[in-house]
Structure 1
C-alpha cells in the first residue's frame, strides 16, 4: 500500500472530535457522487449485494474517528447505486468474542432465501458467520469461529477476507493467505452448510518480492480475494504489493488456469469487491485510499471513498474490459465547452496521434498523458498506456479522479486543493464534457 502502510496498520489513538455536517458540506475535497459514509473512516467494501430490489453496501468503518481502528461494518442501501440511504452499523465487535478486536472484511451469500455474512474476526484472524432476516439485524453464529485456524502445516502471515460462492450442491470459499518466505496465495475450502469447512488446496500462489518487510507489501500475503465468471472465463483478483492484481482464465471443477494477468485498478484503488446484480452483470467497487497525511484526514473529519461502480466484461479477443456503470449517465447535466470548469464532472477525450494532454487545477496538474513514454499520470499515480489511439473517460469528484483508458485500464487517484477551476493543455481530436449533478446538497451521498 502507498505511504508505506497497509490497511491493517494501526494509524494512531482514537480522536473524539465531532464534525458538524456544515463542515463536511463545505469541504471541496469531499466527493459529491461517489459513495462514502456521513463522516469518519471507511475502507474496504465488504459485501456489496443486490437483494430484493436494492443494492446493499457494507464496508469497513470506524464510527469514532477519521482513522483506522477497531473495525465495524457500515451499511447503506440504494435503488440505483447513485442515491444511498445510510443505515445503522450492521456488525460490531462482540466483547470477549472471536471478533472482539474487529470485524474485518468478508462477503455475503443467500442461503435458502436468507442473507448470511462470512467475515474475519481478530485477533487471531479467524472466520465467523452471521445471519439475518432483513439485512439490518444480524445474529452471530453461536459456534463462531467456523474456521478457527489455517490448515495444519501452512505457516501463513495472514488468514483473512473470505469469499464464498455456491457451486452445485456445495459451498466453496477462498481465504487470503500466504506461504511465509515464498509468496501469497488463496486457500480453497468446501462446505455442505456454510458451517463445517474442509480445506482442499491453494487455488493460486504467487512469489514474494525481495525488500519490503511487510508481508502484504512484499506479496508474501494476498488479501481480499474475489473470484467469479466473466463471460466464458473466470476472473480472480487479490490485493497485495499496494495494488490489485488480477488473473483471467478458465475454471474446470476446482482447477483455475490463468491465461492473462495484469493490474485491475491502478493508484488509490484497493481491496475491491464485487456484486452479482440479478445474474445480469457483475459490479465491482474498490476502496479509494486517501493520499494525504493522517493529520489532514483527522482535520477533515472523514477518510476514504468508494470508487465508481465498474462493470467487467470481455472484448472480442477475450481480454478484460472495465467500464463505469451506465447509471452515472443519469447524473449528466449541461454540456460544458471544451473542458469542464468545476470538480464534479465527466470528460470524454479522444487522442488519435502522439498528442500530449492534461488537465490542470489552479495551475497544478490533475491528470496528464505523455505519448512519448505512453504513461498516464493521475495525482501520484502513473499507469502504462499501450501505443495507439487513446480514449479517456475521466470522472472528477472533489479530490477523487477516476480514468478509464480504452475501456481496459482503470486508473484512480486523489488530488486535493478544492475547486480552483480546471484548464486544459493539449489539443485532443475530440472532447465532450458534462457537469454531473451531486446526489445530495450536503456531500453526504444520501
Structure 2
C-alpha cells in the first residue's frame, strides 16, 4: 500500500474516533445560512473535508460516491458506528471504486442504530415516483423512445441500499408511468469497464440503431475514466434486452493533458455536416468545469475538438447536456441534432460535483466554431437551476411521438445510510418533466408529463374563492393527502404591505428562506400549503411564496417572489437532514396572481411554482403524518389577506406496474 494512502488511513481512523466526542446535531443546522450547498446528510464542511484527499476516492463528494455509508450514518448517529466507518474505509481502500460492500457489516450497523419504526413503515415507500423494488439507485441514464417503448436505464446497486457494485439497470414503459424491470443491461465485463460502468447516454444512429456511450473505469488504483460504447445484440427487439460491447472499446480515452479521474458522462450525440458530435464533462486544473467536444464520422473513431465547447470556474462538470429549444414560446421539443438559428436557442446544463445541484444557461451554439455562448454570461455563476431542491445528475431526451423534450432527475434520500439499509432501498427519480423555453427566452419551464394525470382519482376535492386571513390556516379535507396532486391558484389583493428585500440577500434565495422559514410573519406571505401535516401540526412541510419589494441595489422595481420548501418541522425524527430549499420566481406578481402545484408522494414533495418557472423537490420522513393520518392545509402567515381563487386536489393511485414494487 502506498505510504500516502497508509498515512491517510491512520489519519481517518483518528478522525472517526474524534467524531465520538462531537455533537452531530450541531452540524445539521438545517435553519442555518450555511446549510445551502448540499442535499445530503451534511453541511458544506463535510464534502470538502472528505474530498480533500484524492486517495479516498470512494468516499469523495461525487454523486457516484455521496459518502461512504458509515460516514453518512456517523453524521447523525455519532460514535455508535465510528468503528464501522474505519472497517468500511479499509475495505474500500483495499479495492476499487467498484466496491462490493460487506452486507453483514451494514446490517450490523442498522441493527445497532435503533432505526425509528416510522422509517420502516410501508407508508413512506413512494407510490408513483420511479424506483426499483429494492436497493440503491442514482443517475438516470440513456432515456430514449424505441419501437413503441420508453426505455430508462439507471445506475443501480444490485447488492444493497448503498452506493457500490454499480450496473446499468433497465426498465421499459408504454406511458412513462407504468414500468417493467428487465435484466441488467450493462455491467462490468471488459477491461475498460472492469471497475465500474458509470453514467452515459443513448443516441439513435442514422440507420435507426440505438447506441449507448458510457464511462468505464479500467484501473483499480485510481478512477481512470474512459468512454465505452454498446449496441443492442438484436435491434429488432423492441425491448432491447441484450447489449454487446465491441472489441474496439474504449473508443475515447483521456489524452492531451486531460485529468483522467475527472472525465466522464458522455452526452447524447448530434449530427450535422457529416459528423457526429458529443460532449464529455471534465475538470481542468483545480476548479474549472469543462465540456469537451468530440467529433466522429462513423461513431466509433472520435477526435477531440481543440477548444472546449464552454467552461467556467465552477468545479467539475458532471452529466453535461446540450439540446435545442424553440424561442417562440411553443412547448414543442426539438431533436438534439437541430442547430441554432434565429428561431432556436440551446440549453447547456451541468451537474456541479461540488454543489450537488444542476445548473443551466440559455445561449447560442455555433456549429462551425464548436463553441457555446450563454445569453447571460453571469449565468455561469449558478443563476438558473432545473430544481432548487433535492435533484441531481439529470438527463433529457427527445420524445419523437409527442414532440417534446423530457427531463429525468435523481432525488437521493435525506435520512441516514443506516436507515436505507434497514428499509432496503434508497433513491428515487423525479416525475419525468416536459421542458421548454419560456416566452421571455430567459429560462426554462417545466411541468409533469401529462400521462401522470391518469393516476388522479375521478372525484377531486375543491376549494374556491376562499379568503385566508392573517395567521389563518384552512384544512382541505375529503381525500387521502399522503399521495396526492394539488393545484392551487392564489390571488394577492394588495402588495402594499410587502417588505423590502435585504440587498445582501437579493441573489441568495436559499439563505433568505433559511433565515425566515414558513413561520416568521411577513408582509405579503409566507402563504401556501402545509403538506404531510399531522393532526396537531407537530409535523408539517410548508411549500410557500413570499413577496418582497425590490432591493434598492437592483435596477428593477418589479416585486420579488420567493418560493420555498421548508421541511424543518416535517418530522419528529431528529436523525434527519432537513434543509430549506428555495428559488426566486421570475413572474409578474404585480397582477396579483400566482399558482402552485405540489405532487405529494409519501416521502417526497415535488412542487412547481408559477406554471413551472421554479421547481423544488424535497424528501421528508414524517413519523405521525403517514397514510390516512396525513393532512393538507392552506396557510397564510403574512399580514395581508390572501385569496384562494381555486384549489383542486386529487388522490393519486399507484401505477399498476412499478418494477415489481
Report the TM-score, using the length of structure 1 for normalisation: 0.90
Q: Choose from 421, 424, 429 the match for 1:298.
A: 421
Kindly tell me: are residues 357 and 331 of structure 1, through their superposed partners in 2, closer, same or farther at Cα, counting changes over 3 Å? same
- C-alpha distance in structure 1 between counterparts of 2:284 and 2:445, whole Å: 31
Q: Choose from 457, 460, 469 the match for 1:335.
A: 460
Aligned to 1:215: none
1:410 counterpart = 2:615: yes
Name the SS for the 2:421 alignment partner: helix
1:400 counterpart = 2:598: no
Higher gyration radius (CA): 2
The alignment yields a C-alpha RMSD, in angstroms, of 2.2
Contact 1:156 1:178 in 2 (8 A): no
1:258 counterpart = 2:411: no
Kindly tell me: are residues 143 and 291 of structure 1, through their superposed partners in 2, closer, same or farther at Cα, counting changes over 3 Å? same
- C-alpha distance in structure 1 between counterparts of 2:309 and 2:483, whole Å: 42
Deviates more, 1:339-348 or 1:32-41: 339-348
Kindly tell me: are residues 433 and 346 of structure 1, through their superposed partners in 2, closer, same or farther at Cα, counting changes over 3 Å? same
User: Cα distance, 1:328 vs. partner?
Assistant: 1.1
Aligned to 1:242: 356
- C-alpha distance in structure 2 between counterparts of 1:381 and 1:229, whole Å: 32
- C-alpha distance in structure 2 between counterparts of 1:144 and 1:437, whole Å: 45
Give the alignment of 1:38-437 within 5 angstroms. 38-94=133-189, 97-111=191-205, 112-122=207-217, 123-132=223-232, 133=235, 134=237, 135-149=240-254, 151-155=255-259, 158-168=262-272, 169-200=274-305, 201-207=307-313, 219-231=314-326, 232-240=344-352, 241-253=355-367, 254-260=370-376, 261=379, 262-278=384-400, 280-319=403-442, 320-333=444-457, 334-338=459-463, 339=476, 341-353=480-492, 354-355=524-525, 356-360=527-531, 361-362=533-534, 363=537, 364-372=539-547, 374-379=562-567, 380-386=579-585, 388=589, 389-406=593-610, 407-417=612-622, 418-419=626-627, 420-424=629-633, 425-426=635-636, 428-437=644-653
User: Cα distance, 1:309 vs. partner?
Assistant: 0.9
Deviation per CA, 1:279-313: give whole Å up to 9, x if none. 61110010011111111111110011011111111
- C-alpha distance in structure 2 between counterparts of 1:58 and 1:311, whole Å: 18
- C-alpha distance in structure 2 between counterparts of 1:155 and 1:15, whole Å: 33
Deviation per CA, 1:294-349: give whole Å up to 9, x if none. 11111110011011111111232223211111111111112125435421110012
Contact 1:157 1:221 in 2 (8 A): no
Contact 2:357 2:385 in 1 (8 A): yes
Contact 1:358 1:365 in 2 (8 A): no
Contact 1:41 1:61 in 2 (8 A): yes
Contact 1:25 1:444 in 2 (8 A): no
- C-alpha distance in structure 2 between counterparts of 1:412 and 1:445, whole Å: 24
Aligned to 2:472: none
The answer to which structure has the higher helix fraction is 2
Contact 1:346 1:434 in 2 (8 A): yes
- C-alpha distance in structure 2 between counterparts of 1:11 and 1:27, whole Å: 26
Name the SS for the 2:422 alignment partner: helix
The answer to which structure has the higher strand fraction is 1
User: Cα distance, 1:372 vs. partner?
Assistant: 4.9
- C-alpha distance in structure 2 between counterparts of 1:79 and 1:182, whole Å: 42
User: Cα distance, 1:97 vs. partner?
Assistant: 1.4
Report the TM-score, using the length of structure 2 for normalisation: 0.62
- C-alpha distance in structure 2 between counterparts of 1:229 and 1:378, whole Å: 34
Name the SS for the 2:266 alignment partner: strand
- C-alpha distance in structure 2 between counterparts of 1:69 and 1:337, whole Å: 46
Kindly tell me: are residues 148 and 316 of structure 1, through their superposed partners in 2, closer, same or farther at Cα, counting changes over 3 Å? closer
Name the SS for the 2:418 alignment partner: helix
Query: 5+ unaligned residues in a row in structure 1: which ranges?
Result: 18-22, 208-218
- C-alpha distance in structure 1 between counterparts of 2:582 and 2:481, whole Å: 25
Contact 1:11 1:69 in 2 (8 A): no
